């Protein structure tokens, strides 16, 4: 098992180097110039002052040198400093991370639970009215983007009934119940796309598993239908679902950027949007790299979980 784990860990290292290079390169493509913004209020700006500020911020160096310097800094745990406030990027990410983590956790719990449960129900009720309703809901949930649902959830209740969701964020330490109350709606909206994707895959894999010989054998031995489904069918059908869940984490974090902005949640996504507007490159780079590393780490955990869900994988059969 140790050899299996080491092999998977070493396998993601090239992806880490490629991720950092792409982030450093693509950040330079953000429209606008940070130098123009920082000198906009300076009436006495000159070519010399622009060159001095460019050199001070390290923007005069070639891309390869900036990549190498940034890679060494990341290994040391240093993601740089904000160009505007000079605060360490790592401190800012830690400061804004809790709301994003809470929002992601709520959406994952809701999405995984409802997606797997409804997928099992849809498979067991194949071609019934229940199955048709659930499949129609899944298609609708996948088709409508999260930001559209989030916008509708804020605007339509206010226009139709004069009721608007509470957009005043309350931290968990200040009021746990108030914090959960505020994050529940955006968390459920983020979970919608996740749950519908998981439901469709869970239904497909469950139907395939229920046709296997070992399921018929379990029924022939007199096992109850509930035990056959829970102990034999679901356990084998859930492996592809775990894979999809790991892949959906990236889309979940991407969706949280817009949802946090709409619901005024002071998370990493909102910090990213404001940093892009201000051309604060170190913060943008740091957030994107951290999100990328988190997605890789999540997929690594998913990969390792195969060995526990199916022992044949970790022993190479």
135 pLDDT higher than 70:
yes
pTM to 2 decimals?
A: 0.79
The structural domains of the chain, with segments of one domain joined by +, span 2-75, 97-278
3-state percent breakdown (helix, strand, coil) of the chain, nearest 5 = 75, 0, 20
Higher pLDDT, residue 310 or 93: 93
Average pLDDT over residues 122-141: 87
* Span 97-124, pLDDT tens digits: 888 888 888 998 999 899 989 998 988 8
The count of C-alpha atoms lying within 13 angstroms of the C-alpha of 237, restricted to the half-sphere facing its C-beta, is 30
251 pLDDT higher than 60:
yes
Percentage of the chain surpassing pLDDT 70? 85
Average pLDDT over residues 191-207: 88
Distance (Å, rounded) from C-alpha 160 to C-alpha 307?
Answer: 52
- Kindly report the three-state secondary structure assignment for every residue of 34-46: HHHHHCCCCCCCC
Distance (Å, rounded) from C-alpha 222 to C-alpha 216?
Answer: 10
Partner residues linked to 81 by β-bridges: 88
Q: What is the pLDDT of residue 228?
A: 81
Q: Are 228 and 236 in contact (CB under 8 A)?
A: no
DSSP string, 86-155: --BHHHHHHHHHHHHHHHHHHHHHHHHHHHHHHHHHHHHTTTSHHHHHHHHHHHHHHHS-HHHHHHHHHH
Distance (Å, rounded) from C-alpha 169 to C-alpha 98?
Answer: 12
Q: Residue written as tokens 């809701």? A: 110
Q: Are 241 and 116 in contact (CB under 8 A)?
A: yes
231 pLDDT higher than 80:
no
315 pLDDT higher than 70:
no
* Span 261-284, pLDDT tens digits: 888 888 888 898 888 888 888 888
Q: Residue written as tokens 């775990």? A: 242
Higher pLDDT, residue 158 or 289: 289
CATH fold group of domain 97-278: MetI-like fold (1.10.3720)
Higher pLDDT, residue 5 or 161: 161
Distance (Å, rounded) from C-alpha 230 to C-alpha 240?
Answer: 16
Residues contacting 27, CB < 8 A, separation 6+: 281, 284, 285, 288
Percentage of the chain surpassing pLDDT 90? 2
Q: 47-51, 159-163, 218-222, 278-282: lowest mean pLDDT where?
A: 47-51
Which is nearest to 116 in space by CA: 194, 209, 224? 194
Q: What is the pLDDT of residue 33?
A: 63
Residues contacting 246, CB < 8 A, separation 6+: 298, 299, 301, 302, 303
Q: What is the pLDDT of residue 110?
A: 92
Q: What is the pLDDT of residue 101?
A: 87
When the pLDDT of each residue in the chain is averaged and rounded to a whole number, the result is: 80
DSSP string, 15-83: HHHHHHHHHHHHHTTSSS-HHHHHTTT-TT--HHHHHHHHHHTTTTS-HHHHHHHHHHHHHTT---B-T
* Span 12-68, pLDDT tens digits: 888 888 888 888 887 777 666 666 666 665 555 555 566 666 676 666 677 788 788
């Amino acid at each position: 098992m140790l050899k299996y784990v080491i092999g998977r860990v070493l396998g993601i290292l090239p992806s880490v180097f490629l991720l950092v290079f792409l982030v450093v390169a693509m950040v330079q493509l953000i429209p606008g110039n940070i130098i123009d913004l920082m000198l906009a209020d300076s009436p006495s700006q000159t070519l010399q002052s622009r060159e001095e500020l460019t050199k001070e911020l390290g923007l005069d160096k070639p891309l390869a040198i900036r990549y190498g310097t940034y890679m060494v800094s990341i290994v040391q745990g240093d993601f740089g400093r904000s160009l505007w406030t000079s605060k360490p990027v790592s401190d800012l990410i830690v400061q804004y991370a809790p709301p994003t983590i809470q929002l992601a956790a709520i959406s994952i719990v809701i999405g995984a639970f409802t997606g797997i449960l409804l997928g099992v129900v849809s498979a067991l009720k194949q071609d019934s009215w229940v199955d048709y309703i659930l499949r129609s809901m899944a298609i609708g949930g996948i088709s409508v983007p999260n930001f559209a649902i989030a916008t509708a959830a804020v605007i339509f209740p206010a226009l139709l009934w004069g009721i608007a969701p509470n957009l005043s964020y309350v931290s968990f330490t200040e009021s746990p119940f108030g914090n959960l109350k505020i994050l529940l709606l955006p968390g459920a909206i983020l979970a919608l796309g996740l749950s519908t994707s998981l439901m469709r895959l869970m239904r497909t894999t469950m139907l395939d598993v229920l046709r296997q010989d070992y399921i018929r054998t379990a029924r022939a031995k007199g096992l109850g239908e509930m035990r056959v489904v829970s102990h034999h069918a679901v356990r084998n059908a859930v492996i592809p679902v775990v894979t999809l869940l790991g892949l959906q984490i990236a889309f979940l974090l991407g969706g949280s950027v817009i949802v946090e902005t709409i619901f005024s949640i002071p998370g990493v996504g909102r910090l990213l949007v404001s940093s892009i507007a201000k051309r604060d490159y170190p913060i943008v780079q740091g957030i994107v790299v951290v999100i990328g590393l988190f997605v890789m780490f999540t997929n690594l955990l998913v990969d390792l979980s195969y060995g526990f869900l199916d022992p044949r994988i970790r022993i190479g059969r």
